[in-house]
Amino acid sequence: MAESAVSRVPPSYPLCPTQFLAIAPIVLFPLVITLPRISPYFSSATVQRPSRAECDYSSGKWVAEGEIKPHSMEWYTEDCPFLDPGFRCRRNGRQDTRYLNWRWRPQACALPRFNANDLLERSKNGRIVFVGDSIGRNHWESLVCLLLTAVANQSAVYEENGNPITKHKGFLSLRFPDHNLTVEYYRTPFLVAVGRPPPSSPPTVKKAVRVDALHWQSRRWAGADLLVFNAGHWWSREKTLKLGCYFQEGATVNSSMDVREAFRRSLRTWGRWVREKVDLRRSFVFFRSFSPVHFSGGTWDKGGRCNMYTEPGAELGGGEASESRWVNGEIRKATERVGAKFLDITSMTEPRRDGHPSLHREAGAASPFPQDCSHWCLPGVPDAWNELLYAHLLLMDKR
């Protein structure tokens, strides 16, 4: 399924991805050569530094910054040429602007202001890579538009393969020529390969999720200076087993394997790839936590909505919180095993029920359509995720 903000349904839409029609081919990865650490993230005395050596940026509150100059719109607007049309909520009819007026304030320390020029300079001659589902695309587009504000000739930034920004299969790679930098997005909702099941599989098995084989695009991820992964929204019974998407290891489909165990095994596969293909002395690896959804009064396909929210609310409870807890628990353990960084945005994002596109879809979207209470308006909440990402980079560089 093409995850699109043009005809986009939330990532909770129960359909096993259909673009992966064959088992991923075997890919031979180049040998990782051990070199001294050469990171693009050099120390700089010209930017605001983190106030402490360590800080739990995920614990805090949203603070209103004022009605006249919303903090996100100081950075970029919906005119950013690399925004998916479905994320341009005001252009799609949203009238209120309060969702733009909030800034995240950690409880125990100050959050450095995002400095696009500094991050571009640190990233010269490098690659920034996002890997995951369409929420990961939300995150990627936010960073692209933030960085673009520090580029004098914005028209010089281009998609390397000539793909339109509305292309939702495969990958997108934006080049910032003045800095010899690419910022890339790879659409892999499961991270692992998805394809046809083995010939001997029962007829109920329509597709196989290869929990022991990372997606074939992983050959493109190796060598990046900064990697940001995400997963979780597609790992549910409704989007896998109920639709005939079962889990495969080796040459056999294991029809008794449940979703949680499959997710654990897929993360172990991801971890092996990090250990074997990523030199952590040269690359920074983050795995972002679960992004909460805010459907009220029903699920995405049964009347769930969020258009009535114009202010942040309380933390979630019940099933949604339970889902994010087990996903985050597994991700945290996986990052600890390989020395990657767990980027925790869940608790800070839970109150932001007001930040979704809801019914503000772009002109031409099919009608009737479900409200989108999974993705995020841009500018908006993912900008704060990138503030955290930038702050963590400064902390890691300081050490």
pLDDT tens sequence across 182-192: 999 999 999 99
69: exposed, middle or buried (C-beta count within 10 Å: 0-12, 13-18, 19+)?
Answer: exposed
pLDDT at 43 over 80: no
In which band, very low, low, confident or very high, does the pLDDT at 200 lie, cut at 50, 70 and 90? confident
Average pLDDT, the chain: 83
Q: What is the pLDDT of residues 158-168, one digit of tens each?
A: 999 998 887 56
Q: Model's pTM, two decimal places?
A: 0.86
Mean pLDDT of 236-244: 80
Q: How far is CA 357 from the centre of its chain?
A: 17
Fold of 60-398: Rossmann fold (3.40.50)
Per DSSP bridges, beta strands 207-214 and 192-195 are antiparallel
Q: Residue 389 has what pLDDT? A: 97
Helix ranges (DSSP H) in 199-258 = 218-221
* Torsion angles phi and psi, residue 31, rounded to 5: -65, 135
Mean pLDDT of 239-267: 91
Spatial distance between the Cα atoms of 393 and 226, rounded to a whole number of angstroms: 9
pLDDT at 9 over 50: no
Mean pLDDT of 146-160: 96
Q: What percent of the chain has pLDDT over 90?
A: 61
Q: Which residue has the higher pLDDT, 366 or 160?
A: 160
Q: Residue 74 has what pLDDT? A: 56
In which band, very low, low, confident or very high, does the pLDDT at 30 lie, cut at 50, 70 and 90? very low
Residue 346 near residue 396 (C-beta atoms within 8 A): no
In which band, very low, low, confident or very high, does the pLDDT at 148 lie, cut at 50, 70 and 90? very high
Q: In Å, what is the CA distance from 349 to each residue of 15, 227, 297, 311, 353?
A: 25, 21, 20, 13, 8
pLDDT at 306 over 70: yes
- Helix, strand, coil percent content, the chain, rounded in steps of 5: 25, 15, 55
Mean pLDDT of 303-318: 81
Q: Residue 369 has what pLDDT? A: 77
Q: In Å, what is the CA distance from 102 to each residue of 38, 76, 107, 118, 196?
A: 36, 15, 15, 23, 46
**Would you name the residues annotated as active-site residues?**
134, 372, 375
Identity of residue 271: G
Q: What percent of the chain has pLDDT over 70?
A: 79
Q: Which residue has the higher pLDDT, 165 or 83?
A: 83
Helix ranges (DSSP H) in the chain = 116-122, 134-148, 218-221, 259-277, 319-338, 346-349, 381-398
Per DSSP bridges, beta strands 245-249 and 207-214 are parallel
Q: Which residue has the higher pLDDT, 48 or 181?
A: 181
Q: Which of 388, 366, 323 is nearest to 4 (CA)?
A: 366
Q: Which residue is associated with the tokens 């000539």?
A: 162
Q: Which residue is associated with the tokens 């890919």?
A: 27
**Per-domain residue ranges of the chain:** 60-398
Q: Which of 219, 198, 220 is nearest to 208 (CA)?
A: 198
pLDDT at 139 over 70: yes
Q: Residue 318 has what pLDDT? A: 55
Q: Which residue has the higher pLDDT, 247 or 301?
A: 247
Mean pLDDT of 301-322: 77
- Cis peptide bond N-terminal to 368, omega within 30: yes
Q: Residue 23 has what pLDDT? A: 32
Lowest mean pLDDT across 99-113, 133-147, 206-220: 99-113
Q: Which of 259, 208, 231 is nearest to 134 (CA)?
A: 231
pLDDT at 3 over 80: no
Q: Residue 368 has what pLDDT? A: 65
Spatial distance between the Cα atoms of 212 and 219, rounded to a whole number of angstroms: 16
Q: At what angle do helices 259-277 and 319-338 cross, to 10 degrees?
A: 30
Q: Residue 296 has what pLDDT? A: 83
